[in-house]
Structure 1
Amino acid sequence: MEFESGDRPVIVRRVKKVQHGHHGGAWKVAFADFATAMMAFFLVLWLMEAATIEEKAAISGYFSDPTAFTEGGSPYVIDLGGGLKDDQYSGDSNVETPDTKIQDKGIVLTEDTVQDLAAQIESRKFQDLKKTLETRIEQDPSLRKYKDQIIMDVTKDGLQIQIVDAKSRPMFDSGSDEIKPYMDDILNALAGTISSVPNGLSITGHTDAEAFTDRRDYSNWELSADRANAARRALQKNGVSEQQLAQVVGLSSSMLYDKDDPKNPINRRISILVMSERSEAKLKQQQSGKALPMGDEFPVLPDSGNDTAEPDVEEEFEAFERLRKTMTRKQRDDAARTQPPPPRDELF
């Protein structure tokens, strides 16, 4: 068919509309989950910032051992004062309470018992540390010949390690604070072990009663302090951290090892004390100028030398933990019983 000039064909396109299916809302669910997770994350950050050190320790302990919190009378991370009272256990005679567990072990619930257990556990840790050091010295041929100059004792203040002079092997030259090479080897061996414990260290320098006459303005007081600092530098060089050092002092000849012979070379020594918690607390109180609390010293467990006769430390520690938690719950319940009820007007 021919079109006249100037005419153009008209093309009509018909679009067929097809209804598409629903695209779905999965992305909305994912976004909602993400927003919820972010809200929970920032809530945790806020709670951790507001929590005290004790509350953080309780939360950490709960995730380490959740079952331990049920033994203390409350199954919650932070005890808000709940839990069963002593008279609520009496309904069933077959129920084993924390009190009966401790009584079966023959432990009396007193403050002295708690302190005794804590002191014995800490004393055994120092005994183990002493044996570790003795084994290391014995197994090292270069240190074995110096073992007579290394005196270690577990005292009420901690593990005391004394490196003493010998006539043929002094730690320092006369009137000098320069460490001899074998003294440096001894300090290196000690540092590798004592740096692995969290206890604080007290380093003390001692001299004999021989007067220092080379300099008028330099006495045994300065010499003992300089030698203590020389030992400190050697320990730090071999792994002891700055935070572990509690004090470094020089005592001249004021505390002789051999009081009968003040000029005995054994009086020239470096004493390194791995401090117990009690002695470290006392030192901090002294340094802060606060008055020391009155009370008996912690007993020190004697070294029997028989490893097979020692009781299980972990069992005693678990008993101590149950004892501590039970006493806390009982004290709280007793306080609740003795506290008078609030006036009726305050209830509304």
Structure 2
Amino acid sequence: MARKRYDDDVPSEHHERWLISYADFITLLFAFFVVMYAISIVNEGKYQQLSEALGDAFGGRGAATQVNTNVEPVLPLSHIVNRKRNEAARREHERMGVLARDLTATLLPLVKSGQVRVTQNARGVSVEINASVLFDQGQALLQPEASEILQAVGGLLRNDPHRIEVEGHTDDVPIASTVYPSNWELSAARASSVVRLFIDSGVAPARLSALGFAATRPVAANTDPVGQARNRRVAVMILAALPETGGNILP
């Protein structure tokens, strides 16, 4: 008579009971890694959806939401960099605004008469001076009154760290002389005269550059004397610092 095996008395379903515990463990492990992944790349809307879904799966809506309520969101590096860049740009804009107000106050009589314009834009602060205030017609030698005006501007810019571009502009009327064969030479010479005066006023030469544009960048039509006079000008451009690199500031 064959011996009765002990295994024959155990119901067949008991052999796979370990699968239930194993499945529970795998489910919990999966939920843990999903939560950790969600925390590492926090998106408020998607995190809320994930929390509610996990809450429904493990004991009621909102259960998962109650977990990690005190965890600080981990912000992406790009978000932190952009926030710092925007803050630096805001502070730089405020500094340039203060400089623009100081320049306007210094040149107020000429600003009121329309011979000087002080504006602030994305590049920085521009001081646009009508050429008639600075030079005789067709000349690049500064008038004595002009030297006093520019020395006051140079005094404000002496301790300022920003780089400065001095631009010379003319109208489209051709000039031909032994000194200035064209408006290109005249505009560059006028810009250089202003740069030299700024250097004499204590502005560091490394911060300065002189540019001549002739009649290529008009701000008014050259069809009448008023427009032509408007285009004959010198623009002093104080360049704002770039938030990304700190450019336009003297090292």
Match of 1:206 in 2: 169
Q: Which amino acid aligns with 1:251?
A: F
Tell me if 1:158 matches 2:124: yes
State the Cα deviation string for residues 207-258 of structure 1 (Å, max 9, x = none).
111110334971100010001000111111112111221x211110000121
Match of 2:193 in 1: 230
Distance in 1 separating the partners of 2:245 and 2:69: 44
Q: Classify the secondary structure of the residue corresponding to 1:177.
A: coil
Match of 1:195 in 2: 158
- List aligned pairs for 1:1-348, cutoff 5 A: 93=70, 109=79, 111-138=81-108, 144-145=109-110, 147=112, 148-165=114-131, 169-215=132-178, 218-245=181-208, 247-259=209-221, 261=223, 264-278=228-242
Q: Which amino acid aligns with 2:123?
A: D
Instruction: Report the Cα offset of residue 145 of structure 1.
Output: 4.5
C-alpha change, 1:280 and 1:225, in structure 2 (3 Å) is farther
State the Cα deviation string for residues 21-46 of structure 1 (Å, max 9, x = none).
xxxxxxxxxxxxxxxxxxxxxxxxxx
C-alpha change, 1:125 and 1:183, in structure 2 (3 Å) is same
- What TM-score, normalized by structure 2, do the two folds share? 0.61
Q: Which amino acid aligns with 1:153?
A: T
Preserved CA contact (<8 Å) 1:201 1:272: yes
Distance in 2 separating the partners of 1:261 and 1:173: 22
Instruction: Report the Cα offset of residue 92 of structure 1.
Output: 10
Distance in 1 separating the partners of 2:92 and 2:85: 11
C-alpha change, 1:176 and 1:213, in structure 2 (3 Å) is same
Preserved CA contact (<8 Å) 2:171 2:222: no
C-alpha change, 1:126 and 1:283, in structure 2 (3 Å) is closer
C-alpha change, 1:224 and 1:242, in structure 2 (3 Å) is same
State the Cα deviation string for residues 41-83 of structure 1 (Å, max 9, x = none).
xxxxxxxxxxxxxxxxxxxxxxxxxxxxxxxxxxxxxxxxxxx
C-alpha change, 1:244 and 1:121, in structure 2 (3 Å) is same
C-alpha change, 1:146 and 1:131, in structure 2 (3 Å) is closer
Preserved CA contact (<8 Å) 1:208 1:262: no
C-alpha change, 1:278 and 1:162, in structure 2 (3 Å) is same
Structure 2, unaligned runs of 5 or more: 1-38, 41-66
Instruction: Report the Cα offset of residue 133 of structure 1.
Output: 1.5
Distance in 2 separating the partners of 1:266 and 1:273: 17
Instruction: Report the Cα offset of residue 155 of structure 1.
Output: 1.3
C-alpha change, 1:117 and 1:261, in structure 2 (3 Å) is farther
C-alpha change, 1:282 and 1:118, in structure 2 (3 Å) is closer
C-alpha change, 1:111 and 1:145, in structure 2 (3 Å) is closer
Sequence identity of aligned pairs in percent?
A: 23
Q: Classify the secondary structure of the residue corresponding to 2:238.
A: strand
Q: Which amino acid aligns with 2:210?
A: V
Distance in 1 separating the partners of 2:175 and 2:210: 21
Preserved CA contact (<8 Å) 1:158 1:279: no
Aligned length: 179
Distance in 2 separating the partners of 1:185 and 1:203: 17
Distance in 1 separating the partners of 2:200 and 2:207: 13
- What TM-score, normalized by structure 1, do the two folds share? 0.45
Q: Classify the secondary structure of the residue corresponding to 1:114.
A: helix
Match of 2:33 in 1: none
Q: Which amino acid aligns with 2:184?
A: W
Q: Classify the secondary structure of the residue corresponding to 2:220.
A: coil
C-alpha change, 1:162 and 1:239, in structure 2 (3 Å) is same
Distance in 2 separating the partners of 1:175 and 1:267: 14
Match of 2:21 in 1: none
Please, what is the CA RMSD of the aligned residues? 3.4
Instruction: Report the Cα offset of residue 197 of structure 1.
Output: 1.0
